Chains A and B, each alone.
Chain A
Protein backbone atom coordinates (compact mmCIF):
# COMPACT_ATOMS: atom_id res chain seq x y z
CA UNK A 1 0.00 0.00 0.00
CA UNK A 2 1.32 3.43 -0.88
CA UNK A 3 1.83 5.92 1.90
CA UNK A 4 -0.56 8.37 0.33
CA UNK A 5 -3.34 5.84 0.07
CA UNK A 6 -3.00 4.86 3.71
CA UNK A 7 -3.15 8.51 4.79
CA UNK A 8 -6.37 8.87 2.83
CA UNK A 9 -7.76 5.81 4.58
CA UNK A 10 -6.73 7.16 7.97
CA UNK A 11 -8.64 10.35 7.31
CA UNK A 12 -11.69 8.32 6.41
CA UNK A 13 -11.37 6.35 9.66
CA UNK A 14 -11.00 9.61 11.56
CA UNK A 15 -14.24 10.99 10.14
CA UNK A 16 -16.08 7.75 10.92
CA UNK A 17 -14.71 7.70 14.44
CA UNK A 18 -15.79 11.28 15.04
CA UNK A 19 -19.40 10.36 14.44
CA UNK A 20 -19.51 7.88 17.27
CA UNK A 21 -16.96 9.37 19.63
CA UNK A 22 -19.48 10.83 22.02
CA UNK A 23 -20.97 7.49 22.95
CA UNK A 24 -17.56 6.05 23.68
CA UNK A 25 -16.28 8.28 26.41
CA UNK A 26 -16.11 6.98 29.97
CA UNK A 27 -17.88 3.66 29.92
CA UNK A 28 -16.21 2.94 33.22
CA UNK A 29 -15.41 -0.73 32.62
CA UNK A 30 -11.77 -1.75 32.64
CA UNK A 31 -10.31 -5.10 31.70
CA UNK A 32 -6.72 -5.53 32.77
CA UNK A 33 -4.56 -8.35 31.44
CA UNK A 34 -1.32 -9.45 33.12
CA UNK A 35 1.51 -9.28 30.59
CA UNK A 36 4.63 -10.10 32.54
CA UNK A 37 7.02 -12.79 31.32
CA UNK A 38 5.02 -15.44 33.13
CA UNK A 39 1.72 -14.16 31.76
CA UNK A 40 3.00 -14.15 28.20
CA UNK A 41 4.45 -17.63 28.57
CA UNK A 42 1.13 -18.85 29.93
CA UNK A 43 -0.80 -17.48 26.96
CA UNK A 44 -1.80 -13.94 27.98
CA UNK A 45 -1.36 -12.70 24.45
CA UNK A 46 -3.99 -15.04 23.08
CA UNK A 47 -6.29 -14.06 25.93
CA UNK A 48 -5.79 -10.37 25.11
CA UNK A 49 -6.65 -11.03 21.46
CA UNK A 50 -9.71 -13.06 22.47
CA UNK A 51 -10.93 -10.31 24.80
CA UNK A 52 -10.68 -7.66 22.08
CA UNK A 53 -12.40 -9.94 19.58
CA UNK A 54 -15.23 -10.75 21.99
CA UNK A 55 -15.78 -7.08 22.82
CA UNK A 56 -15.86 -6.24 19.12
CA UNK A 57 -18.29 -9.05 18.33
CA UNK A 58 -20.67 -7.95 21.05
CA UNK A 59 -20.16 -4.27 20.38
CA UNK A 60 -19.25 -3.61 24.01
CA UNK A 61 -17.14 -0.68 24.97
CA UNK A 62 -14.57 -1.40 27.64
CA UNK A 63 -11.16 -0.07 28.35
CA UNK A 64 -8.61 -2.86 27.85
CA UNK A 65 -5.11 -2.43 29.20
CA UNK A 66 -2.10 -4.59 29.98
CA UNK A 67 0.01 -4.62 33.13
CA UNK A 68 3.22 -6.34 34.12
CA UNK A 69 3.83 -8.93 36.76
CA UNK A 70 1.64 -9.00 39.85
CA UNK A 71 3.47 -11.91 41.50
CA UNK A 72 0.85 -14.60 40.97
CA UNK A 73 2.67 -16.48 38.22
CA UNK A 74 1.05 -19.80 39.02
CA UNK A 75 -2.39 -18.41 38.23
CA UNK A 76 -1.48 -16.71 34.96
CA UNK A 77 -3.02 -15.70 32.62
CA UNK A 78 -4.69 -13.25 34.99
CA UNK A 79 -7.51 -10.99 33.92
CA UNK A 80 -8.98 -8.27 36.15
CA UNK A 81 -12.44 -6.91 35.53
CA UNK A 82 -13.40 -3.62 37.08
CA UNK A 83 -16.74 -1.95 36.64
CA UNK A 84 -17.38 1.62 37.65
CA UNK A 85 -18.31 1.87 41.28
CA UNK A 86 -17.83 -1.83 41.98
CA UNK A 87 -14.82 -3.72 43.26
CA UNK A 88 -12.19 -5.15 40.96
CA UNK A 89 -12.26 -8.92 40.51
CA UNK A 90 -9.18 -10.87 39.50
CA UNK A 91 -9.66 -14.05 37.52
CA UNK A 92 -6.93 -16.67 37.24
CA UNK A 93 -5.99 -19.31 34.64
CA UNK A 94 -8.03 -17.60 31.96
CA UNK A 95 -7.80 -19.13 28.50
CA UNK A 96 -9.18 -18.00 25.14
CA UNK A 97 -12.02 -20.45 25.57
CA UNK A 98 -13.08 -18.91 28.88
CA UNK A 99 -13.21 -15.36 27.55
CA UNK A 100 -16.75 -15.44 26.06
CA UNK A 101 -18.28 -16.64 29.32
CA UNK A 102 -16.28 -14.09 31.27
CA UNK A 103 -17.58 -11.22 29.15
CA UNK A 104 -21.12 -12.61 29.10
CA UNK A 105 -21.49 -13.20 32.83
CA UNK A 106 -19.41 -10.49 34.38
CA UNK A 107 -19.66 -7.60 31.94
CA UNK A 108 -23.14 -8.11 30.63
CA UNK A 109 -24.96 -9.68 33.57
CA UNK A 110 -22.78 -8.28 36.29
CA UNK A 111 -22.28 -11.64 38.01
CA UNK A 112 -18.89 -12.64 39.35
CA UNK A 113 -17.86 -16.12 38.21
CA UNK A 114 -16.90 -17.44 41.63
CA UNK A 115 -15.07 -20.58 40.51
CA UNK A 116 -12.59 -18.60 38.40
CA UNK A 117 -12.10 -15.65 40.71
CA UNK A 118 -8.90 -15.56 42.76
CA UNK A 119 -9.30 -12.26 44.55
CA UNK A 120 -11.30 -9.13 44.88
CA UNK A 121 -9.83 -5.67 45.29
CA UNK A 122 -11.04 -2.16 45.78
CA UNK A 123 -11.57 -0.44 42.46
CA UNK A 124 -8.89 2.09 41.59
CA UNK A 125 -9.91 5.69 41.49
CA UNK A 126 -9.56 6.89 37.93
Chain B
Protein backbone atom coordinates (compact mmCIF):
# COMPACT_ATOMS: atom_id res chain seq x y z
CA UNK B 1 0.00 0.00 0.00
CA UNK B 2 1.40 3.38 -0.96
CA UNK B 3 -0.04 5.14 2.10
CA UNK B 4 -0.39 3.96 5.67
CA UNK B 5 -3.92 5.34 5.72
CA UNK B 6 -4.89 2.61 3.24
CA UNK B 7 -3.70 -0.05 5.68
CA UNK B 8 -5.90 1.62 8.27
CA UNK B 9 -8.94 1.41 6.00
CA UNK B 10 -8.19 -2.25 5.57
CA UNK B 11 -7.92 -2.87 9.31
CA UNK B 12 -11.13 -0.94 9.98
CA UNK B 13 -12.88 -3.25 7.52
CA UNK B 14 -11.50 -6.28 9.38
CA UNK B 15 -12.94 -4.91 12.61
CA UNK B 16 -16.31 -4.29 10.98
CA UNK B 17 -16.37 -7.85 9.66
CA UNK B 18 -15.61 -9.07 13.16
CA UNK B 19 -18.85 -7.34 14.24
CA UNK B 20 -17.07 -4.66 16.26
CA UNK B 21 -19.25 -1.87 17.61
CA UNK B 22 -16.34 0.26 18.79
CA UNK B 23 -12.98 0.92 17.15
CA UNK B 24 -10.11 2.87 18.66
CA UNK B 25 -7.35 4.13 16.40
CA UNK B 26 -4.17 5.60 17.80
CA UNK B 27 -1.33 7.05 15.80
CA UNK B 28 1.70 8.02 17.77
CA UNK B 29 4.61 9.84 16.20
CA UNK B 30 7.54 10.12 18.58
CA UNK B 31 10.11 12.15 16.70
CA UNK B 32 12.67 12.01 19.51
CA UNK B 33 12.65 8.23 19.53
CA UNK B 34 12.24 8.15 15.73
CA UNK B 35 9.21 5.92 16.13
CA UNK B 36 5.82 5.72 14.49
CA UNK B 37 3.22 3.51 16.10
CA UNK B 38 -0.21 2.65 14.76
CA UNK B 39 -2.75 0.87 16.89
CA UNK B 40 -6.21 -0.39 16.01
CA UNK B 41 -8.27 -1.79 18.83
CA UNK B 42 -11.75 -3.22 18.41
CA UNK B 43 -14.33 -5.02 20.51
CA UNK B 44 -15.23 -7.54 17.79
CA UNK B 45 -15.45 -11.28 18.11
CA UNK B 46 -11.67 -11.70 18.34
CA UNK B 47 -9.48 -14.54 17.19
CA UNK B 48 -8.60 -17.85 18.76
CA UNK B 49 -5.00 -18.54 19.68
CA UNK B 50 -4.66 -20.75 16.64
CA UNK B 51 -6.11 -18.08 14.34
CA UNK B 52 -3.83 -15.40 15.79
CA UNK B 53 -0.83 -17.59 15.07
CA UNK B 54 -1.92 -18.08 11.46
CA UNK B 55 -3.29 -14.69 10.61
CA UNK B 56 -0.02 -13.42 9.14
CA UNK B 57 0.03 -16.31 6.68
CA UNK B 58 -1.20 -14.86 3.37
CA UNK B 59 -2.83 -18.17 2.54
CA UNK B 60 -4.95 -18.12 5.67
CA UNK B 61 -8.25 -16.32 5.83
CA UNK B 62 -11.40 -16.61 7.92
CA UNK B 63 -13.60 -15.59 5.03
CA UNK B 64 -15.32 -17.94 2.67
CA UNK B 65 -15.19 -15.79 -0.45
CA UNK B 66 -11.58 -16.46 -1.40
CA UNK B 67 -8.54 -18.40 -0.24
CA UNK B 68 -6.06 -15.66 0.55
CA UNK B 69 -6.02 -13.02 3.25
CA UNK B 70 -3.47 -10.34 2.48
CA UNK B 71 -4.43 -7.43 4.69
CA UNK B 72 -2.42 -8.28 7.79
CA UNK B 73 0.54 -9.85 5.95
CA UNK B 74 0.89 -6.65 3.89
CA UNK B 75 0.89 -4.47 6.98
CA UNK B 76 3.31 -6.77 8.76
CA UNK B 77 5.67 -6.61 5.80
CA UNK B 78 5.42 -2.80 5.71
CA UNK B 79 6.47 -2.69 9.39
CA UNK B 80 9.30 -5.16 8.95
CA UNK B 81 10.70 -3.20 6.03
CA UNK B 82 11.01 -0.18 8.32
CA UNK B 83 12.73 -1.97 11.21
CA UNK B 84 9.44 -2.33 13.07
CA UNK B 85 7.05 -5.16 13.75
CA UNK B 86 3.39 -6.03 13.87
CA UNK B 87 1.87 -7.30 17.07
CA UNK B 88 -1.56 -8.90 17.30
CA UNK B 89 -3.32 -9.44 20.60
CA UNK B 90 -6.66 -11.10 20.52
CA UNK B 91 -9.00 -13.25 22.55
CA UNK B 92 -12.21 -14.88 21.42
CA UNK B 93 -15.05 -12.62 22.49
CA UNK B 94 -12.73 -9.90 23.75
CA UNK B 95 -11.77 -8.06 20.59
CA UNK B 96 -8.49 -7.60 18.78
CA UNK B 97 -5.66 -5.11 19.11
CA UNK B 98 -3.23 -4.64 16.28
CA UNK B 99 -0.12 -2.60 16.81
CA UNK B 100 2.38 -1.79 14.08
CA UNK B 101 5.65 0.01 14.61
CA UNK B 102 7.91 1.72 12.08
CA UNK B 103 11.13 3.66 12.26
CA UNK B 104 9.72 7.09 11.60
CA UNK B 105 12.49 8.32 9.33
CA UNK B 106 12.99 5.04 7.46
CA UNK B 107 13.35 5.59 3.75
CA UNK B 108 10.83 2.85 3.00
CA UNK B 109 8.16 4.12 5.36
CA UNK B 110 5.08 5.08 3.39
CA UNK B 111 3.58 8.45 4.31
CA UNK B 112 0.42 8.48 6.41
CA UNK B 113 -1.29 9.93 3.35
CA UNK B 114 -4.87 11.07 3.25
CA UNK B 115 -6.03 10.54 6.82
CA UNK B 116 -9.45 12.04 6.19
CA UNK B 117 -10.31 8.86 4.31
CA UNK B 118 -10.00 7.05 7.64
CA UNK B 119 -12.83 9.24 8.94
CA UNK B 120 -14.90 8.41 5.87
CA UNK B 121 -14.37 4.69 6.37
CA UNK B 122 -15.51 5.03 9.98
CA UNK B 123 -18.56 7.04 9.00
CA UNK B 124 -19.68 4.79 6.15
CA UNK B 125 -19.61 1.55 8.06
CA UNK B 126 -22.83 -0.33 8.36
CA UNK B 127 -24.14 -0.66 11.08
CA UNK B 128 -22.84 2.63 12.58
CA UNK B 129 -19.83 2.41 14.85
CA UNK B 130 -18.56 4.17 17.91
CA UNK B 131 -15.01 5.28 17.35
CA UNK B 132 -12.19 7.09 19.00
CA UNK B 133 -9.31 8.55 17.02
CA UNK B 134 -6.12 9.88 18.58
CA UNK B 135 -3.21 11.16 16.53
CA UNK B 136 -0.19 12.43 18.41
CA UNK B 137 2.97 14.08 17.21
CA UNK B 138 5.25 14.47 20.21
CA UNK B 139 3.26 16.63 22.65
CA UNK B 140 0.57 17.69 20.25
CA UNK B 141 -2.60 15.66 20.08
CA UNK B 142 -5.68 15.52 17.90
CA UNK B 143 -8.43 13.53 19.54
CA UNK B 144 -11.93 12.89 18.32
CA UNK B 145 -14.51 10.72 20.00
CA UNK B 146 -17.68 9.87 18.08
CA UNK B 147 -19.77 9.67 21.23
CA UNK B 148 -18.75 13.19 22.27
CA UNK B 149 -19.71 14.52 18.85
CA UNK B 150 -22.97 12.59 18.94
CA UNK B 151 -23.79 14.18 22.29
CA UNK B 152 -23.59 17.65 20.73
CA UNK B 153 -25.52 16.60 17.65
CA UNK B 154 -28.29 14.98 19.69
CA UNK B 155 -30.62 13.21 17.23
CA UNK B 156 -28.74 14.18 14.05
CA UNK B 157 -26.66 11.27 12.73
CA UNK B 158 -22.92 11.73 12.17
CA UNK B 159 -23.44 10.59 8.60
CA UNK B 160 -25.67 13.57 7.76
CA UNK B 161 -24.01 15.24 4.73
CA UNK B 162 -23.69 18.59 6.50
CA UNK B 163 -22.11 16.98 9.55
CA UNK B 164 -19.84 14.86 7.38
CA UNK B 165 -18.61 17.89 5.48
CA UNK B 166 -17.88 19.82 8.63
CA UNK B 167 -16.11 16.84 10.21
CA UNK B 168 -14.00 16.31 7.09
CA UNK B 169 -12.87 19.93 7.12
CA UNK B 170 -12.16 19.86 10.83
CA UNK B 171 -10.21 16.59 10.53
CA UNK B 172 -8.23 17.79 7.51
CA UNK B 173 -7.21 20.97 9.32
CA UNK B 174 -6.03 19.08 12.37
CA UNK B 175 -4.11 16.54 10.30
CA UNK B 176 -2.45 19.30 8.31
CA UNK B 177 -1.24 20.96 11.47
CA UNK B 178 0.17 17.66 12.71
CA UNK B 179 1.86 16.71 9.47
CA UNK B 180 3.73 20.01 9.42
CA UNK B 181 5.00 19.26 12.91
CA UNK B 182 6.07 15.78 11.91
CA UNK B 183 8.28 16.94 9.06
CA UNK B 184 11.91 16.19 9.67
CA UNK B 185 13.87 19.30 10.67
CA UNK B 186 15.61 20.71 7.63
CA UNK B 187 19.33 20.37 7.76
CA UNK B 188 21.01 23.76 8.10
CA UNK B 189 17.70 25.60 8.31
User: Which A residues have a C-beta under 8 Å from some C-beta of B?
Assistant: 1, 6-7, 9-11, 13-14, 16-18, 20-21, 24, 33, 35-38, 40-41, 45, 48-49, 52, 55-56, 61, 64-71, 73
Q: Are A48 and B120 in contact (CB under 8 A)?
A: yes
Cβ contact within 8 Å between B163 and A17: yes
Interchain residue pairs A-B with the least CB separation, the first 9: A71-B65, A65-B126, A37-B71, A10-B152, A17-B156, A71-B66, A66-B124, A17-B162, A68-B13
| A17 and B160 within 8 A (CB) | yes
Interface check B185, CB cutoff 8 A: no
Closest to B72 in A: A37
Whether B117 sits at the interface, judged by CB under 8 Å, is: yes
| B160 pairs with A24, CB closer than 8 A | yes
- Main DSSP-derived SS at the B contact region: helix
Q: Which residues of A contact B174 (CB under 8 A)?
A: 1
B170 within 8 A of A: yes
**Which of B10, B160, B162 touches A37 (beta carbons < 8 Å)?**
B10
B122 to chain A, nearest CB (A): 10
User: A69 contacts which of B66, B126, B161 (Cβ < 8 Å)?
Assistant: B66
Q: Does B1 contact A (CB under 8 A)?
A: yes
Q: How many A-B residue pairs have CB under 8 A?
A: 93
**Residues of A close to B117: CB separation below 8 A:** 45, 48-49
Q: Known interface pairs A11-B152, A45-B6. Does A56 touch B161 (Cβ–Cβ under 8 Å)?
A: yes
CB distance from A44 to the nearest CB of B (A): 8
Known: A17-B160, A49-B117. A9 touches B63 (CB 8 A): no
Interface residues of B in 117-135 (CB under 8 A from A): 117, 120-121, 124-126
| Closest Cβ–Cβ distance, residue A33 to chain B (whole Å) | 8
13 CB-based A-B contacts, threshold 8 Å: A1-B170, A1-B173, A10-B166, A14-B152, A16-B162, A36-B71, A40-B1, A41-B6, A49-B117, A49-B120, A66-B125, A66-B126, A71-B66
A37–B74 touching, CB < 8 Å: yes
Whether the pair B156, A66 counts as a contact (CB closer than 8 A) is: no
> With the chains together, A70 CA to B66 CA distance in Å?
8
**B residues with CB within 8 A of A:** 1, 6, 9-10, 13-14, 16-17, 63, 65-66, 69-71, 74, 114, 117, 120-121, 124-126, 149, 152-154, 156, 160-166, 170, 173-174
Question: In the complex, what distance in Å separates the CA atom of A6 from the CA atom of B171?
Answer: 11
Interface centre among B16, B124, B164 (most CB of A within 10 A): B124
- Rounded to whole angstroms, the CA-CA distance of A26 and B48 in the bound complex is 40
Given A13-B162, A66-B13, are A35 and B170 also a contact pair (CB < 8 Å)? no
| B71–A64 touching, CB < 8 Å | no
- Residues from chain A with Cβ under 8 Å of B170 in the complex: 1, 6, 9
Shortest A35–chain B CB gap in Å is 5
Shortest A25–chain B CB gap in Å is: 10
